[in-house]
Structure 1
Amino acid sequence: MEVNSKFEFFITDLKNRLNNELPGDLAHQKMMSYNRPLASEVKKNKAYRESAVLILFYPINEIPHVVFILRQSYDGVHSAQVGFPGGKKEETDRDLVQTALREANEELKILDKEVFIIGELSELYVPPSNFLISPFIGYTNTRPTFVKDEYEVAEIIEVPIHDILGNEYLTTTTISLPNGAKLKVPCFQFNNRIVWGATAMIVQELIDLLD
């Protein structure tokens, strides 16, 4: 099946924008809920864990959509949070692109042979988990048949691009941290789910890139 014209135009425009200078830290700071070291600073000491996420675009009725996941509750710093499919780099991964594609397949059964990677957003450091995240942007010509891994994924969240770009989805909320502390954070609210922290910072860079 051919990519419809509106979706194809969106992907072409996105590719072109990815060839320009990325918004990077300036975009991240808009959704930063606490001070964190810059990725460039963290990379100097190399005492971090590599990870990657996949920002996947696909068409539904000609409209570009992005998929998020709500992670299952578990004993960890990212329990029950909304994020992009992704995770830590394994020794068997040839590079971070493969990490993103492997994790997307494990979590949502997204087939890597159907994903076209077109670029990468700025790296981002997450202090609580010591992850340095590489966000890769890809697309599929049709909506994937998502099958969630019940162990890792509580819910699949599909968001149209106009919701991501719409200012009405930007808000603030109070988050309860694992240590019991309360933190007021800037966030997005998509499909009645709160997107905050590193994922919100990545979303903001995407918004600034497309603005």
Structure 2
Amino acid sequence: MDWYARLQERLTQPLPGPTAHEPLRAAPIGQPMPDFGHRLPPRPGGVLILLYEEDGVVKFPLTKRQEYPGAHSGQISLPGGKAEPGESAVQTALREAEEEIGTVANTLKVLGTLSPFFVIPSNFMVTPVVALSPAVPVFVRNEYEVARILSCTVDALVREDAVREKEILVAGRVRMMAPHFEIEGEVVWGATAMMLNEFRLVLREVL
């Protein structure tokens, strides 16, 4: 598709960054945003937006995290994680996606990256990497890390009414008003929604 080339070119140009991120930031209801008080610099990480075409529809995978004691338990996220020493964001995103959902890194074409994003609760500076699979990936879920693999279509992401808003309960106790996307019955909010909104605005320029 011609728009893949346009997307690759667009990713070399200045990106919307915080202009796209901030409208999707969730806010606590009735209390100030907590101060996480990080004393160390953020750790680098990478996540993967993996485009592939199936039956004429362009999609990308998301994962639902397993439940665990931590800031992002049970949430919907892009495949990815923390960088190993000496890794670039691209290398991290490809490696972590292979570990989490079974994609084969050396078969993918990297189109570029979005703006680095600071995930405040977990103190990560995450770079979203956009890549293209030449064939429909055969996903293999890492059962320890991933509860479910979801599929989002590009068409659903870019539509005018894609962004919704509702109150959610975080960690069973914190009420938040969360702008979000709804994908396969799941609420996609927080850092993932903020990064996806930048991707959404970029896509709307090239489609």
Global fold match (TM > 0.5): yes
**Offset from partner CA, 1:42-87 (integer Å, 9 cap, x none):** 9xx9711111100100011122111111111111110010110000
Q: Which runs of 5+ in 2 are unaligned?
A: none
Aligned counterpart for 1:63 among listed residues 44, 57, 62: 57
Identical aligned residues as a percent: 34
Matches within 5 A, 1:102-141: 102-141=95-134
Segments of 4+ moved more than 3 angstroms: none
Using the TM superposition, give the Cα deviation of residue 179 of structure 1 relative to its aligned residue in structure 2, in angstroms. Answer: 6.7
Q: Following the alignment from structure 1 to structure 2, what is the Cα–Cα distance between the partners of residues 189 and 47?
A: 32
Q: Following the alignment from structure 1 to structure 2, what is the Cα–Cα distance between the partners of residues 30 and 132?
A: 19
Aligned counterpart for 1:13 among listed residues 6, 10, 14: 6
**Partner amino acid, structure 2, of 1:122:** S
Matches within 5 A, 1:28-177: 28-34=21-27, 47-91=41-85, 94-177=87-170
**Partner amino acid, structure 2, of 1:90:** E
Q: Does 1:202 align with 2:195?
A: yes
**Partner amino acid, structure 2, of 1:103:** E
Using the TM superposition, give the Cα deviation of residue 203 of structure 1 relative to its aligned residue in structure 2, in angstroms. Answer: 0.9
Partners of 2:62 and 2:77 within 8 A in 1? yes
Q: Which runs of 5+ in 1 are unaligned?
A: 1-7, 37-41
Cα RMSD, aligned residues only: 1.9
Using the TM superposition, give the Cα deviation of residue 33 of structure 1 relative to its aligned residue in structure 2, in angstroms. Answer: 1.6
Could you tell me the TM-score, scaled by structure 2's length? 0.89
Aligned residues: 196
Of Structure 1 and Structure 2, which has the larger fraction of its residues in helix? 1
